[in-house]
Chain A
Amino acid sequence: MSIAFPQPDQSILARRDAILAGLAAILPEDALITSEDERRVFDTDALTAYRRMPLAVVLPRTTEEVSAVMRFLHGEGVNIIARGAGTSLAGGAIPQEDAVVIGVARLNQMLEANFADRTARVQAGITNLAISQAVSHAGFFYAPDPSSQLACTIAGNIAMNSGGAHCLKYGVTTNNLLGVTMVLVDGEVVEIGGAHLDSPGYDLLGLITGSEGQLGIVTEATVRILRAAEGARPALIGFDSAEAAGACVAAIIAAGILPVALEYMDKPAIHVCEAFAKAGYPLDVEAMLIVEVEGSEEEIADALARIVAIAEDFSPRTLRVAQSEAEAAAIWKGRKSAFGATGRVADYICMDGTIPTGQLPFVLRRIDEIVKSYDLRVANVFHAGDGNLHPLVMFDSAKPGDMEKAEHAGEDILRLCVEVGGCLTGEHGVGIEKRDLMTHQYAPADLAQQMRVRAAFDPGWLLNPAKVFPLEGRVAA
């Protein structure tokens, strides 16, 4: 347990009864959770090694309730932790003892779909997948598709600027969000953006996307929905080396082809996923690409023929185009279950750095060396088109000190990502996990500017206060 939490504010803990009474006065009975058993459900997120019992949890059903709760807590000087579905891998939704969790999961309604304007208005607690499901009858979908899309909320996606496997073509959350209703720390409700493109003045919509619950709580959102392509099909290409796979990715892009997805798996990841998903992955290769293209039957055939011709130059050991829906689904099942499948064979932490794709072979070699130096193993799956790595550093939680070793290895990997020109996190967010590495990516003046912007929204640092920025050296407005 190497990540520090701030010492709870004893004066808040001492006033717990009064604070709960205040919340009870402004919320329906079932929207306030105070018992220890029920609060425990909310004491961590997907970074389960860290847990803190919150002061209380509120589950409002309306923007007005969120506003009333925030106005009250702001007046009392109580910290606030926003929570969607609690799927953050970075600890973005982990509470602290002197904070109230505001969960938006009950704000889960689809409000309006406008197919002519290609927009959907939703409550922010709706799950990512539910948006696509609500518009699929008309052939539309919501593009960003994080692996947790069955559970994760659009509120959490906005907080972390979530991506997914298809963002090479469709972009990440910030590229697909048009407007929000947001409650500020003092309870004021603001409308930013709308059903139109771009917003006047400074781009606050862009700023709040990825702000990790530190600028306000989003209760409603207007997102772009897109008409789905006529069809899509993946191909599997296996190589003898990471270098060959990396060079093939570069050649595909240089040829002017932009696949909808371009995923990379290394040998350990291939083996783990194949054992789980029976996707027919080649077990004798060092690296494998899943390349997916979209369009009509003829367009898919044309694009895959171009890709196959390019891949031939890199002596692929395996080259297989999915011949059926079932085969395509199996190929994706293997990739999408990489985290779960790894979890069956070992405990792991999932890193999320991004690197310039030209550095790929070097970085993979260094990751291997780093992990070996800690006497651990690693499986690599990542979005090759955009350089977003997901090394899964495996450890044994039953072995004392093993998790700490994994954390250290993970930190070394993220420092490496920054050193080669990349960044600490591509789509999971900083949370508590990478908070103390921020000084590695940013100079003091860079961080001070970010913290002044943060403080412009939340001068008292009440919103998700222990996240993103190092606990030392915080800057006021």
Chain B
Amino acid sequence: MTLQAMSGPASADTPLHLPASEEEAAAIIAEARAARTTLSVEGGGTKGALGRPVRAAARLSSRALIGVTLYEPAELVIGAKAGTPLSEIEEILAEKGQRLAFEPADYRALLGSSGEPTIGAVAAANLSGPRRIMAGAARDALIGVRFVNGLGDIVKNGGRVMKNVTGLDLVKLMAGSYGTLGFLTEVTFKVLPKPEVSATLVYPGLDDSRAIEALSEALGSPYEVTGAAHLPVGDGRQSAQTLIRIEGFKPSVAYRLGELRRLLADFGEPAEARGESLWRGVRDAAPMASLADRAVWRISTAPGQAAALASAIRGAITGRHSFDWGGGLIWLAVEADAAATRVVREAVREHGGHATLIRAPEALRQSVDVFEPLSEPLMRLQKRVKTSFDPDGIFNPGRMYASI
């Protein structure tokens, strides 16, 4: 089936659908399918610049699908319509001393966007922050979804309980699918108590390899580190900082900080920081956001490979980098061109893992892979999965890969 040809990228002139109910969304999608036209799917539109550019006949936003549908603090679960602002969810949880443990990132500064990120987009982009190493990713906390597939059918999967192996786990597929499989209408997340105290040890002056060694030691200890990052010199820092976060009840945090200092004595004398502002910067890749003309990459790799991987890239091209997830996540800001892209892809192939081009000018995102290229058999499976949800390719054509 050929889709109606589009003249240019979705813009302010593109018609915008704002369904206020799931049924309305299903009708819009069924109509688009019948008319063989495409839809660009969004929440608050703050991450529109992430992914390959989408050309679609109309925009479909969840912004009018708002409201918390379920919150049971004692059951550690919250459900909301997909367009509910993330900030609203976080406020409601905070009132009961709880939070989304995966620490959803805010990419507005990085992507230069404004508006309200939605809870649906947190699921659709599988947005996880520093605590991912300990508490799991957004995809791990997401326990239920409702969505409209490309046939216009309303589909539910998962539910409101944490343990559920009833049938195929389509929740995982929806997490990180960037609106290419269906239009999310409602999401349900597992939440966790907010700890009494958060404290961070800050080790100065370590090089990348030593820093990752320190982080691995800490993460391999029994002290339940909930954040492990390394910020090299640059971005206004005269000395590198290696950050190790502990959270919990006061006596426990005090004890664990002491034990970690002893365990990591060879790595120097740390300073101690309280609170979360330091970690918000790590979470949102703040050091990269300020380099406005650079392309920003997010690379997931085995921590043991991270220093060598970063060094391979930095040996070939100039830029800035930092580490999260004990080294397993590398943030990188480099030239926004095809040559730098090749260097990054080559280094990741060599050391293992996957790289996502989080920020780049539209022309570059149009011409190179934004997500890690896949092996031929895996790409074939991805296409078949896409077809099983959206046989006519209505949703976000080409957003993740040119062919799906």
Interface residues of A (CB under 8 A from B): 114-119, 139-140, 160-161, 163, 167, 171-172, 174-175, 184, 188, 190-192, 194-207, 209-211, 227-230, 249-251, 253-258, 295-296, 298-299, 302-303, 306, 354-358, 383, 386-388, 421-430, 434, 438, 441-443, 445-450, 452-457, 468-469, 477
Interface-facing stretch out of B17-25, B40-48, B83-91, B383-391: B383-391
Docked-complex contact A118 and B387, CB < 8 angstroms: no
Q: What separation, in Å, do the CA atoms of A357 and B132 have in the docked complex?
A: 26
Complex contacts, A434 vs chain B, CB 8 Å: 166
Docked-complex contact A116 and B220, CB < 8 angstroms: yes
Complex contacts, B171 vs chain A, CB 8 Å: 206
Docked-complex contact B222 and A253, CB < 8 angstroms: no
Docked-complex contact A196 and B165, CB < 8 angstroms: no
Is B398 among interface residues, defined by CB-CB distance under 8 A?
Answer: no
A190-B378, A227-B221, A254-B73 given as contacts; is B161 within 8 A of A425 (CB)? Answer: no
Docked-complex contact A196 and B172, CB < 8 angstroms: no
Docked-complex contact B303 and A423, CB < 8 angstroms: no
Q: Which of A119, A194, A256, A421 contacts B159 (CB 8 A)?
A: A421
Query: For window 156-186 of chain B, which residues contact chain A by CB distance below 8 Å?
Result: 156-157, 159-173, 175-177, 181
Docked-complex contact A200 and B161, CB < 8 angstroms: no
Interchain nearest-CB distance for B240 vs A (Å): 20
Q: What separation, in Å, do the CA atoms of A450 and B222 have in the docked complex?
A: 40
Complex contacts, B73 vs chain A, CB 8 Å: 253-254
A204-B381, A358-B72 given as contacts; is B169 within 8 A of A387 (CB)? Answer: no
Q: Which of B136, B163, B168 contacts A454 (CB 8 A)?
A: B168
A175-B140, A184-B377, A204-B381 given as contacts; is B162 within 8 A of A425 (CB)? Answer: no
Complex contacts, B366 vs chain A, CB 8 Å: none
Interchain nearest-CB distance for B126 vs A (Å): 7
A253-B74, A302-B252 given as contacts; is B164 within 8 A of A354 (CB)? Answer: yes
- Nearest 3 CB-CB pairs, A to B? A206-B172, A256-B193, A250-B74
A197-B132, A356-B72, A445-B154 given as contacts; is B137 within 8 A of A188 (CB)? Answer: no
Docked-complex contact B166 and A118, CB < 8 angstroms: no
A117-B216, A203-B175, A257-B193 given as contacts; is B154 within 8 A of A450 (CB)? Answer: no
Is B219 among interface residues, defined by CB-CB distance under 8 A?
Answer: yes
Complex contacts, A199 vs chain B, CB 8 Å: 354
Q: What separation, in Å, do the CA atoms of A118 and B137 have in the docked complex?
A: 17
A228-B222, A256-B195, A423-B159 given as contacts; is B302 within 8 A of A209 (CB)? Answer: no
Complex contacts, A452 vs chain B, CB 8 Å: 388-389
- The size of the chain B interface, using a CB distance under 8 A, is 86
Interchain nearest-CB distance for B221 vs A (Å): 6
Docked-complex contact A256 and B196, CB < 8 angstroms: yes
Chain B, residues 174-213, CB within 8 Å of chain A (1/0): the string is: 0111000100000000001111100000000000000001
Docked-complex contact B165 and A161, CB < 8 angstroms: yes
For the complex with contacts A172-B163, A427-B163, A477-B384, 13 further pairs of A-B residues with Cβ separation under 8 Å are A116-B304, A160-B165, A174-B169, A201-B400, A202-B173, A203-B176, A207-B170, A210-B169, A228-B222, A250-B74, A258-B192, A426-B164, A468-B167
Docked-complex contact B168 and A448, CB < 8 angstroms: no
Interchain nearest-CB distance for A294 vs B (Å): 8
Docked-complex contact A200 and B372, CB < 8 angstroms: yes
Q: Which of A119, A139, A229, A445 contacts B155 (CB 8 A)?
A: A445
Docked-complex contact B166 and A201, CB < 8 angstroms: no
* 14 chain-A/chain-B pairs, Cβ below 8 angstroms: A116-B304, A118-B220, A174-B140, A200-B371, A202-B173, A202-B385, A207-B172, A207-B385, A227-B219, A227-B222, A354-B164, A356-B161, A386-B163, A449-B155
| In the complex, residue of chain A having the shortest beta-carbon distance to the beta carbon of B388 | A452
Docked-complex contact A387 and B162, CB < 8 angstroms: yes
A196-B352, A203-B172 given as contacts; is B302 within 8 A of A477 (CB)? Answer: no
Docked-complex contact B302 and A443, CB < 8 angstroms: no
Interchain nearest-CB distance for A209 vs B (Å): 7
Q: Which of B77, B126, B170, B213 contacts A450 (CB 8 A)?
A: B170
Complex contacts, A477 vs chain B, CB 8 Å: 384, 387-388
| In the complex, residue of chain B having the shortest beta-carbon distance to the beta carbon of A200 | B372
Complex contacts, A421 vs chain B, CB 8 Å: 159-161
Q: What separation, in Å, do the CA atoms of A382 and B60 have in the docked complex?
A: 43
Q: What separation, in Å, do the CA atoms of A254 and B221 have in the docked complex?
A: 28
Docked-complex contact A357 and B176, CB < 8 angstroms: no
| In the complex, residue of chain B having the shortest beta-carbon distance to the beta carbon of A203 | B172
Docked-complex contact A447 and B378, CB < 8 angstroms: no
Docked-complex contact B356 and A422, CB < 8 angstroms: no
A449-B153, A453-B168 given as contacts; is B160 within 8 A of A356 (CB)? Answer: yes
Q: What separation, in Å, do the CA atoms of A97 and B164 have in the docked complex?
A: 30
Docked-complex contact B216 and A196, CB < 8 angstroms: no
Candidate in B75, B133, B153 with the most chain A CB atoms within 10 angstroms: B75
Is B117 among interface residues, defined by CB-CB distance under 8 A?
Answer: no
Is B270 among interface residues, defined by CB-CB distance under 8 A?
Answer: no
Docked-complex contact A386 and B161, CB < 8 angstroms: yes
Q: What separation, in Å, do the CA atoms of A469 and B154 have in the docked complex?
A: 19
Q: What separation, in Å, do the CA atoms of A232 and B169 have in the docked complex?
A: 33
Docked-complex contact B249 and A302, CB < 8 angstroms: yes
Interchain nearest-CB distance for A110 vs B (Å): 18
Complex contacts, B382 vs chain A, CB 8 Å: 201-202, 204
Q: What separation, in Å, do the CA atoms of A175 and B328 have in the docked complex?
A: 17
Complex contacts, B400 vs chain A, CB 8 Å: 201
A117-B302, A443-B156 given as contacts; is B193 within 8 A of A423 (CB)? Answer: no
Docked-complex contact B74 and A358, CB < 8 angstroms: yes
Docked-complex contact A116 and B303, CB < 8 angstroms: yes
Docked-complex contact B153 and A457, CB < 8 angstroms: no
| In the complex, residue of chain A having the shortest beta-carbon distance to the beta carbon of B251 | A302
Complex contacts, A249 vs chain B, CB 8 Å: 74
Q: What separation, in Å, do the CA atoms of A230 and B249 have in the docked complex?
A: 17
Complex contacts, A299 vs chain B, CB 8 Å: 251-252, 255
Is B56 among interface residues, defined by CB-CB distance under 8 A?
Answer: no
Interchain nearest-CB distance for B271 vs A (Å): 24
Q: What separation, in Å, do the CA atoms of A227 and B326 have in the docked complex?
A: 15
Query: For window 135-161 of chain B, which residues contact chain A by CB distance below 8 Å?
Result: 136-137, 139-140, 149, 153-157, 159-161
Interchain nearest-CB distance for A220 vs B (Å): 15
Complex contacts, A302 vs chain B, CB 8 Å: 249, 251-252
| In the complex, residue of chain A having the shortest beta-carbon distance to the beta carbon of B176 | A203
Interchain nearest-CB distance for A413 vs B (Å): 14
Docked-complex contact A423 and B166, CB < 8 angstroms: yes
Query: For window 322-351 of chain B, which residues contact chain A by CB distance below 8 Å?
Result: 325, 328-329
A203-B175, A204-B378 given as contacts; is B252 within 8 A of A295 (CB)? Answer: yes
Q: Which of B157, B166, B213, B375 contacts A430 (CB 8 A)?
A: B166
Complex contacts, B163 vs chain A, CB 8 Å: 163, 167, 172, 354, 383, 386-388, 426-427
